[in-house]
Every structure is written in C-alpha cells, then in structure tokens.
A and B are shown apart, each in its own frame.
Chain A
Amino acid sequence: MSEVLAGRRGIFAKELFAPELPVREAIVRAAERGFNGLYLGSPTSISPELDRKELEEAGQFAKRAGIVPGISAGMLNPYQPGRSAEALEAGGGDLALGLLRLIEAARWVGQPEVMLVVGTEYDRFNRSLEWSEQLSAVAYLLRRIQRDVRSIGSRILIKTHQEITSWEVARLLDQLDSTVFAAAFDPVNLIVRMESPLAAARRLAGRIGQVHVDDAQLLWSGSGLARALCPAGSGCIPWPELIGLIRRSDPGAWYWGELHQAELVMPFLSPGWFGDHPDISLAEIVSWLAVAQPLVPAPPSLIGVKDERVTGLLAFLAAS
C-alpha cells in the first residue's frame, strides 16, 4: 500500500488540526507526520483577499516543506448560488468569473487541480426542479469556462459527492474537455447512491484525478440502508482492490484522507426510489446489498468520535 501511494498521499487539514491553526503551522505538522499533501480547502483560507503575493508565498512555503496543498473551489449548482458565496464574491456576483478567480488563486498556491462539488442530496430529490435540469446547467457553466481554465493551465476535478452518481459525473465529463476536467473519486459517497466502488472506478477509469479515503458500513435503517461512517479499513469499501484498480487506470491520482460527516440514508423501499436512480442495474444493487450488514444494529454516531476515525485514517494511509 505504502509504495503504491508513495509521494501522493495527503489528508484534509480539518481532520488533523483545529481550524484556527495557522496554515503554515498545519503544513509543517503535516510534513512531520509523513504526508505529501494537506487539503486546505478554499484559497480564501490561505488569503482571504485572494492576494497573489500571499498565495504565492504560502505556496512556496508548502513546497519547501514538501507538502502539496489541496484546494477546493467550493460548490457549483447554478440553481443554488447561495452555496457558492465565495465564488460569487470573488467574481463580484459573476459565478463563472468567481470560479476562474478561485482557480487562478489555486494556481498561485502551486495547485493546478481544483476540486468542485456539484450539490447536495436536496438537489437530487428536489421536487420543484429536475435533477437533470440542474446537471445541464452545471455542464453549461463548465463548458463556458473551460477555455479559460485551460489557458490558466489548470484542471477541475468534479467530486463524486453525495448527490451525484458516477454515471452522471461521467456524462458531465463526456461533455467537457478531457484535458481540463476529471473526477475526484469518493467511494464513501458512491455507496450512498448504491454503487459498487469497483464498478464506479471502472466507469471513471482514466479520468480519476484524486481519490478520497474514508470508510463506512451499510446498516439497516428500517426502509433501507444507512451509511454508518467508520474507521478506514473497517467498512465496506474494498480498499485494496480499489487502489489496485485505480493505480493501473490512473497512476497519477492523489489519495486524500477525508472524514465525511453526513449520516445519509438510502431508503430503497420507498416508492419511487429506484426511479430516481435510472442508471443503476439490478446486478449492481445486489452487489451493494451483498456488502451490507443489515442485521447489525446502527451504532451510536461515529461522527463525534473523531479520534478513532482519525487514528484509523492515519494508520491506513501511513507508510509501513
């Protein structure tokens, strides 16, 4: 494992450090722990004004410390602009411009790849607005900015977040310049959409820019299954096979340990549930059920029990 991930192993800062910890100190501590990267989130967490000099200096500091900074451009659903406050502010009200500014800021920090999240489960199940409509709007916006992103020399990684399936991400990527867009592969979210992580990795093979490392169990919730987050390696994500697959299809992908927070449910016995997931086959749903533990009672929430999960994540990602 360690040789596979060598040089491309990072962790989200929020897992290790209090948010008040200055960025430079967090970077030093991450390096001390043997990580190659530290996910900082928005460029505004490094420089609230997106000051170029500040960002470049921080980037150089990280480089000297041997730490690659991970950057996110936030959420992008043109129908939910309230979630893209930072981009809107950076763009003076223009979402597309703001995204480009954040991406540029990431470039100054030395990070050419920027993660983007489409939305939340609320969007997928929004009864006032078709999910497909929202995805079209996302595609439209991304197509509009792709030339500029390319000229900046950057890439956008669309995250397989809780609301979106690997098919939907693949279809988005199909409509976009493949030199500019790829995926941030997060299997702990894909199981919320009932997917088999291995099958999803095959669907996005060749387009995986980074992988998010966490784990969860699938427990019974009364009308279906619930995602119960657990220490990495102790859940249903087939990490050894998954890494084996992705190292062949996407050898340059980075691996970021990230502890997810949302306790999500998959009430598949609810009428219409499967209709809301048109792409997934019976065969894949069955393979999803096969890794569930529907007789184990749901434990008390592990979200608050951070230490155990952090320890698990560190142990999982650490060199042998």
Chain B
Amino acid sequence: MRIGVDGKYLPGGHNLSPVEKLEYAHSLGLEGVFFRTILHISPNLDRAEIQAVQRKAQELGMYLEAGLGRVNPYTNPETPELRAIGSGDVLLGFRRMMEAAAEAGIRELWVSTGGAKPYKGMFATDRFRTDVTWEEQLEATERLLLKLKPLAIDLGLHLNMETHEEITSYEIVRLIEAVGADVMGVVFDTANVMIRGEHPVLAARRLAPYVRQTHIKDAYLELTDGGVYQRAMPCKGEGAIDFCEVLKELNRYNPELTLSFEAQVPHGGRTPGEPMVIEVYDPQWIQGHPDLTREDLAAYYELARNYSERIRSGQAKGWRALNAERFEEEEAVQAVIASRRYLDGLCRELGIQREQAPSHV
C-alpha cells in the first residue's frame, strides 16, 4: 500500500498547479495525489497539461488518481462544469473525461452520488430530499452508470463510488452488483460511513472486495441528546476509528491499495461551531436506513459510547477543547505529516507491504 493525499484539500496547496501539488505533496513525504476530478488536473482536458502532470508523477514515483464527478443525475447539475466539458452533453462530458484519464494511464476514477449541502440535520445530504426519494436517485444513478459501462470497459477504467455522506455501504454493494465489479469499485471514506450509522470496520469488511481508492480520515464521536456528534479528524490515532482493523480488512482484498488522506480544512481564523449530529434516535432517520441491521447499529453505538467514555475520562479531547485549539494551515500541514507517520507505522506493524512503485502507468 502507498500513502498519499487527496488533492482537493491538500493543506498549503490551494494556490498550486497540479504539477506543483505533486511536488509539494512529495516534499511532505507523500507517495501520491488523488485529484478529485480530472478537471482539477486540467479544466479543459488539455492533453499537454495532463501529460505534464503524468510525467511529474512518474518522475517522483508517485501514484496519480483522479475522478469524474457526480453520477447521480439529480445532483450532477450542481457541478455545471461536468455538462460544460461535454458542450452541454453530460454523457459526452463523461466520455471526454474518461478518455483523457485513460490516455494518461489513470484507471481509477472517483465518482459520487452527491455533495454535502449547507443545511443541518436531515437535509445536510441529498438522502432525505422531499422532491425525489433516495431510491429514485439510486435508480437514476444506476442507469447512468450502465450507460458509462461500455466505455469504461473499452478504456479499462474503474468508476469508484465514494462512501460519501449520503449513501450506505449496502447501497453501494447493490449498485456494484447491478453495474458490475469489472467497471465499478469503491472509494472507501473511512469516516463518512459513520454518518450513515455504520461501523467503519463492518463497512470495510462489506466493501473490501471492491475498494480501489480511499479517503482516509478519522472522526470524533460523542453521544449527545438527539444522537451522536461527529466531526472529521486527522488520522493520527486520536479518533474513534480502529485503523488497524480497517487496514486488515482492506489488505485482505487489495494489498496494493492507495491510502489517500482527506485533510481537514483550516479554521481560517473562525472558531468552529457544534459538531454535526447524526440523529440516530429520530424515527425518520431510522426509517431512512432500511438496510441497517440491529447488529450494525449496536456496533456503531458501542463505538460512539466508547469514544464518549474516553472523552469523559480525559483520554480524548472534547469538541469544545478541540475548537479552542489553533488549526490553521500550519497545523493542517503538520496533521498530514503526522497522519502519514501514523499510518506508515500501522502498516509496518501489520506487515502490510509498503511498496514504492511508480504511479499507474
């Protein structure tokens, strides 16, 4: 396995070009960059631009990953650049992005069903929309993926669905079963699954056969009135997730997996507010998770309880204390460095092979 970073939230890297991002990440000791979408590598899919990035990655011996974007037709319009790159034709836009990626030897492409919304509670994601049901959104997503399938086969690509905040591991498995594991995989975001009440290790176990990319981050969990507080944390061993167990599950199926940190955004001088609450006690929330078993929920509850106990006993910091800590760019960069060290240590402890292979070419 190799350890790298998601290119969208690379701390200290926002003003850098893709080539510079690779160099910068390399300087931090990272072994690859997962650019969220190929449009981040080149907004116009300029071949020369893309080749320059590919060459830099090869030169530095780094992995290079990218993505397409939202394959849920109900959320795709929120990223109009996806239609623009197809000159108004969404399918053509995907085709153009896929061809550009394939040409650059990028075979693992992130896709998702949506993005976070600026609302609290049920409407923080698209899952509980009132204009269209989540089932309908999944059906539409499946239809679009089936349209992309022949092209993905031709080009030898995998479209990897992220365990994003709105979707469950059960739903992703069903999508893969419908579309085919020959063209579809998973971007396993280790913390997002808990937003859907899923224990990270159980989710990892369920998805491991299909995981081809990752977003690695830890999380703060705390039982509170109305549910469970959750907030993303750097992967340094201070959060609720047992990365040992998660890595074991993933390693079973994909020992060459790339582990890409999704870094936390600096506070920008503002103190964060209360963490988001996962409303697990709300009957509507429960109803919205028909696949979640009693055993799933019990495991998740135990995880939240145990971390809450650590907070109570002073072994872990409460969210107010965390809010009071400075977390600007400097700290965000240090967090990535510390995360790399932590994950590297875990890999070695578990005997997970840490190869220094060049990127996907």
Contact = CB atoms under 8 A, between A and B. Distances in A.
Contact of A286 (B297, B302, B312): B297
A294 interface: yes
B292 interface: yes
Contact of B223 (A224, A285, A286, A295): A295
Nearest to B311: A295
B287 interface: yes
Nearest to B295: A274
B87 interface: no
Contacts of A286: 280-281, 286, 297
Interface residues of A, number: 15
Contacts of A285: 294, 297-298
Contacts of A295: 223, 305, 308-309, 312
A282 B297 contact: yes
Contacts of B299: 269
Interface in B207-241: 223
A220 B301 CA distance: 11
Given A289-B301, A290-B281, A274 B294 contact: yes
A18 interface: no
A208 B275 CA distance: 44
A168 B164 CA distance: 41
Contacts of B292: 282
Interface in A288-315: 289-290, 294-295
A201 B255 CA distance: 53
A275 to B, nearest CB: 9
Nearest to B299: A269
Contacts of A289: 281, 301
Chain B contact residues: helix, strand, loop or mixed: helix
A287 B281 contact: yes
Nearest to B227: A290
A295 B318 CA distance: 14
B301 A282 contact: no
B27 interface: no
A294 B280 CA distance: 15
B286 A283 contact: yes
Contacts of B309: 220, 295
A262 B312 CA distance: 29
A250 to B, nearest CB: 25
Given A268-B298, A269-B298, A282-B292, A220 B305 contact: yes
10 contacts: A220-B305, A269-B299, A274-B293, A274-B298, A282-B294, A283-B283, A285-B294, A285-B298, A286-B297, A287-B281
Interface of A: 220, 224, 268-269, 274, 280, 282-283, 285-287, 289-290, 294-295
Q: Which 10 A-B pairs have the closest CB atoms?
A: A290-B281, A274-B294, A283-B286, A294-B305, A268-B298, A282-B294, A283-B283, A295-B312, A286-B286, A285-B294
Given A282-B286, A282-B297, A283-B286, 20 more contacts: A220-B309, A269-B299, A269-B302, A274-B293, A274-B294, A274-B295, A274-B298, A282-B292, A285-B297, A286-B281, A286-B286, A287-B283, A289-B281, A290-B281, A294-B223, A294-B305, A294-B308, A295-B305, A295-B308, A295-B309
